[in-house]
Homo-oligomer: A and B are copies of this chain.
Amino acid sequence: MVAPTLDFWLEFASTYSYLAAMRIRALADAASVNVRFRPFLLGPILAAQGWTTSPFNLYPAKGRNMWRDVERICAGLKLPLRRPDPFPQNSLLAARLALVGLADSWGEDFCCAVYRAEFGDGKRIDDPQTMRAILSDLKVEAEASLAAAQSGPIKDKLRAQTEEAQKLGIFGAPSFTTADGELFWGNDRLESALAWAKRAA
């Protein structure tokens, strides 16, 4: 039997990706599903459909509801919530660093730490100082990792991963994809996606 695997497509600027990142490990372990963290950039995908910023900024009623919804969910999960300024944050540096870490052993911890800094503490994730503090907490050599994040292969990998997301039909974050081609969109679908991955394996 093939071990069930689920791809977790995350965008560091996304509030609901924060919720999914905080929940996915315990749920995946309980379901015995392997999860692959796949950071990508939602910006180019939204830009291709004519949006220049987050739909939560373009459509104020939708934005107000999102923040209140996330606030209620965080209260229920006992997760901290503090809005970063500006919103959305530029997630390019964090996404590139995540790819460096995912090729090593510290990628998932790094992803979760970025979300905690951004939405738990309201920090700027485009600030190299925020990244240095996270890497240092993870006992990772910060300057070497920051240099690797700006290397050609990592830039190419993030671009390729974003293109793959778009080809899979991904239009929002978080999203989850299974080996048999199912796409699930949103933190609300995490449980269904895990159950599907398990059944399909």
A192 pairs with B62, CB closer than 8 A: no
The chain B residue sitting closest to A175, CB to CB, is B65
Q: Which residues, 158 to 201 on A, are CB-close (under 8 Å) to B?
A: 169-172, 182-185, 188-189, 192
* Given contact pairs A169-B61, A171-B59, A192 touches B72 in the complex (Cβ within 8 A): yes
Which residues does chain B contribute within 8 Å of A171, judged by CB atoms?
Answer: 59, 61-62, 65
The residues of B that contact A65 with a CB separation of less than 8 Å are 169, 171, 183, 185
Q: Which residues of B contact A192 (CB under 8 A)?
A: 72
Chain B residues near A68 (CB, 8 Å)? 182-183
Asked if A23 lies at the interface with its beta carbon under 8 angstroms from chain B, I say: no
- Contact code string A49-93 (vs B, CB < 8 Å = 1, else 0): 100000000010110110011001000000000000000000000
**Residues of A in contact, count (CB < 8 Å):** 20
Number of copies: 2
CB of A69 within 8 A of CB of B185, answer yes
Closest to A59 in B: B49
Tell me the nearest residue of chain B to A168, going by C-beta.
B61
A166 and chain B: residue at smallest CB distance: B61
Which residues of chain B have C-beta atoms less than 8 A from A185's C-beta? Answer: 65, 69
Q: State the Cβ distance, A81 to closest chain B Cβ, in Å.
A: 16
* Nearest residue, chain B, Cβ from A192: B72
In the complex, residue of chain B having the shortest beta-carbon distance to the beta carbon of A61: B171
Residues of B within 8 A of A183 (CB): 65, 68
3 closest A-B pairs (Cβ-Cβ)?
A61-B171, A188-B188, A61-B169
7 extra interchain contacts, Cβ-Cβ under 8 A, other than A65-B183, A69-B189, A188-B188? Answer: A49-B59, A65-B169, A65-B171, A65-B185, A68-B182, A69-B184, A72-B192
19 contacts between A and B (CB under 8 A): A49-B59, A59-B171, A61-B169, A61-B170, A61-B171, A62-B171, A62-B172, A64-B169, A65-B169, A65-B171, A65-B183, A65-B185, A68-B182, A68-B183, A69-B184, A69-B185, A69-B189, A72-B192, A188-B188
